[in-house]
Amino acid sequence: MKWRRAELTVKIGVVGATGYVGGELLRLLLNHPMAELKAATSRAYAGKYIFKLHPNLRGRTDLKFTPPNLEAIASECDLAFTATPHGAAMDYIPSLLERGVKVIDMSADHRLRDPEAYPRWYGWTHKHPELLERAVYGLPELHRSRIRSAALVACPGCMATTAILGLAPLVKEKVIDEGHIVVDSKIGSSGAGANPTPASHHPERAAGVRPYKVVGHRHIAEVEQELSSLTASPIRIAFTPHAVGMVRGILSTIHTFTVEPLDNPRVWRIYRSFYKDEPFIRLVKDREGVHQLPNPMILTGSNYCDIGFELDDHASRLIVFSALDNLVKGAAGQGIQCMNIMYGFDERTGLEHPGLHPV
């Protein structure tokens, strides 16, 4: 039986618990010593046991999916995770906040501070733009102090997380050309969600590398928003994702161009200074072995983001490699890391899984 201090237990509901992110939230929360999972909602699967859809949770809980009844969630829960499709969470969140429930939104509905950005990047108008100022961008490495007192946290996109974490120290230190940054991301099929489309269906990507949405991807907005907050001038990035055959994981290869001579010790100091106290950032740049630079394979199931780099003196280029599990540090794990901060728990609580090897 899990040890629990009742006075520190947070009662939690997951709204939209049937997708891959919802499933990972349930898995991690069920193993969290300070969390009590009270509700997991689904219209389509209401009344069915959670393990019928998430078979890895068989024997871990007898909880059943329930319809998304906001009054019931508010009466039972201190905190709700909203893991609904983009554009849907904004229908639920105002009512939850009004009832005193804290919210961690896993969708894109509150990531952008400018309401005018939503029509441009997502194709719809935000229904509650007044909440965008209240929402705190849920990247602990940049916004820990604000997350601590937040009632509404907007978790970042998974590919955006790799880009921001890989670039933030360099942008802060002003050692790269802020107008010429190229982010090339490779992402596994789980990043497309649990409901396959002809493009996301795994057999269409299993043996290939397919570029998609090669310009104008919506993650650009949050990457530029967050990086621009670290410097006096607006940051512009070029971003192109690729669908690859792995199920989990992201590797972002980030091409930057230096504005002053750099050597390896200097770059090490920049990253170590910025991330010196971060429990889930690991710097990876080895001279021996197979895994000399970040590889998402070994991060499967973990909340780590591995960051490495190489200097290219020939082209005045600094290449950054940033890898994570898109469902954990790129989604559910990051949400729980934010929850730990909000309630004053050790950030690592429930998230210390080191990852699997081999997979």
For residues 125 and 87, give the distance between their C-alpha atoms in angstroms, rounded to a whole number.
9
Instruction: Produce one character per residue of 191-201: b if its CB has 16 or more CB atoms within 10 Å, e if not.
Output: bbeeeeeeebe
Domain ranges of the chain: 6-157+329-342, 158-325
182-187 and 250-257 strand pairing: antiparallel
Q: Cis before residue 196, ω within 30 degrees of 0?
A: no
Whether 305 sits among the annotated catalytic residues: the reply is no
Residue 7 pLDDT: 56
Statement: residue 261 has pLDDT above 90: yes
Residue 317 pLDDT: 98
Locate 331 and state its tokens: 């989604």
**By the 8 A CB rule, do 20 and 194 touch?**
yes
- Going by pLDDT thresholds of 50, 70 and 90, the confidence category of residue 289 is confident
Per annotation, catalytic residue among 77, 155, 158, 305: 158
CATH architecture of 6-157+329-342: 3-Layer(aba) Sandwich (3.40)
Mean pLDDT (whole number) for 124-144: 97
Statement: residue 196 has pLDDT above 80: no
CATH 3.30.360.10 assigned to 158-325: yes
**Claim: this prediction has a pTM higher than 0.85:** yes
